[in-house]
Structure 1
């Protein structure tokens, strides 16, 4: 059984019943203070194909999750993990050890989507890609673990470490008066607290979060590229500037690769 994004009545009932059997005896701690601070209890499900790579939907990563550096090692998170999109790009180690099929070895995931509805019956709920969920199991017992549908796991926030520089994916709705882009492959915290656009002929302009990891800004008349982009993470407030990363002739749907990362 896997969690389908339609959340049919049958699936919701099954999850609610299962959730009632799990004890979360501690108050949810702030994930912004939990970096490499030990494992905490959570639950996990999976969705899509049993060996699929999942989705980057609510974060704006789209099909990028299937290829490097994500390679399908992704998860949707409930409200306490997704955090209205501010959790997009965050990295976690998760492991399971209470089921006979569990390997007990941790795997590392990136948050790329939102798991709404019944996922919020637990303080922390990870809805993994089929591929990632299978890797929680001992070799040859992937299907046995997937058949459980919902399992107890442990998790901890960890720094992201991609073998890639930061990438800016221009939103399809962008035009000469409006620029929006998703920010991907951010190392360290992985998440975004602030994004600032610096035109070649004007003062820096603060961007605002549009949705997920997509940030937007209105382009005043006369302001021109190339544009530099400064990003600042949420927890550590680390910042980096991708200089002249978005060219004068930028176009919707294009990817622009920085020469830097955190």
Structure 2
């Protein structure tokens, strides 16, 4: 009897070992990525935070910002944006993420209304003021400093600050992902905008038509750089999103005669 049990245990161990050593199939990897995406958007449901706004109805003050999107009309984000407190900004990994926000527990709320915003900027800490009285973006607070047009979708603007409920949602984008090239002959920097799905970016690699894949480093926001001479080569990019780990390859995004300052489009994540 003992020998039979030992044999069964050995067989089970071998089966586990074989299973762990087997390479995951493409179908399995796709399923994992899908499940990871579901976890992002469903985890914890609605959460609580506070929101303010900055700028005026034109949202002029929201252009540019710590993510490097520049003109938010040209980069595909428009007026429905927000600056995140550093807890959510996460050293730039929060750039491009989308949140649905609704006003709660305030007489200034437009109840039943919500707005989807894209994270395009950092709301920096104000250490000279307490977290509950002016230092709204001080860690570890979760706070959204919204564009005024976005804020006005959910509350009367004279409220100043409102309690809100928020949740992560997929980013719906029109058109493809955009790659804006800058730098000089020896230094290439690319800003990646109009990213759909999870909206965020963890890592980027570039490949010239005469090179292998070269890992780029994050310079700031959604700007990634490499110190390499790549002129005269068509450029391909490999992009990995931060939230799901999903990686996509975008072949021949920029033609061999690409120019600094130009923007080139590719398929969405």
Superposition TM-score, scaled by structure 1 size = 0.78
Seen in structure 2, the aligned counterparts of structure 1 residues 232 and 121 have a Cα distance that, compared at 3 Å, is closer
Seen in structure 2, the aligned counterparts of structure 1 residues 122 and 236 have a Cα distance that, compared at 3 Å, is closer
Seen in structure 2, the aligned counterparts of structure 1 residues 36 and 109 have a Cα distance that, compared at 3 Å, is farther
Shift of 1:34: 4.2
Contact 2:203 2:241 in 1 (8 A): yes
Report what 1:141 is aligned to. none
Contact 1:44 1:151 in 2 (8 A): yes
Seen in structure 2, the aligned counterparts of structure 1 residues 52 and 223 have a Cα distance that, compared at 3 Å, is closer
Q: Distance in 2 between matches of 1:56 and 1:87?
A: 16
Q: Is 1:164 aligned with 2:171?
A: no
Contact 2:123 2:145 in 1 (8 A): yes
Superposition TM-score, scaled by structure 2 size = 0.76
CA RMSD of aligned residues (A): 2.0
Map 1:36-185 to 2 at 5 A.
36-37=42-43, 38-52=45-59, 54-63=62-71, 65-66=72-73, 69-104=76-111, 105-117=113-125, 118=135, 119-120=137-138, 123-137=141-155, 145-171=156-182, 174-185=183-194
How many residues align? The count is 219
Q: Distance in 1 between matches of 2:90 and 2:124?
A: 11
Seen in structure 2, the aligned counterparts of structure 1 residues 122 and 75 have a Cα distance that, compared at 3 Å, is same
Seen in structure 2, the aligned counterparts of structure 1 residues 36 and 164 have a Cα distance that, compared at 3 Å, is farther
Structure 1: 5+ residue runs without aligned partners? 1-31, 138-144
Q: Distance in 2 between matches of 1:35 and 1:61?
A: 24
Q: Distance in 1 between matches of 2:187 and 2:141?
A: 37
SS in 2 for 1:87: coil
Report what 1:35 is aligned to. 41
Shift of 1:99: 1.9
Shift of 1:132: 0.5
Q: Is 1:192 aligned with 2:198?
A: no
Seen in structure 2, the aligned counterparts of structure 1 residues 68 and 61 have a Cα distance that, compared at 3 Å, is closer
Seen in structure 2, the aligned counterparts of structure 1 residues 49 and 102 have a Cα distance that, compared at 3 Å, is same
Structure 2: 5+ residue runs without aligned partners? 1-37, 126-134
Shift of 1:35: 2.1
Q: Distance in 1 between matches of 2:211 and 2:103?
A: 52
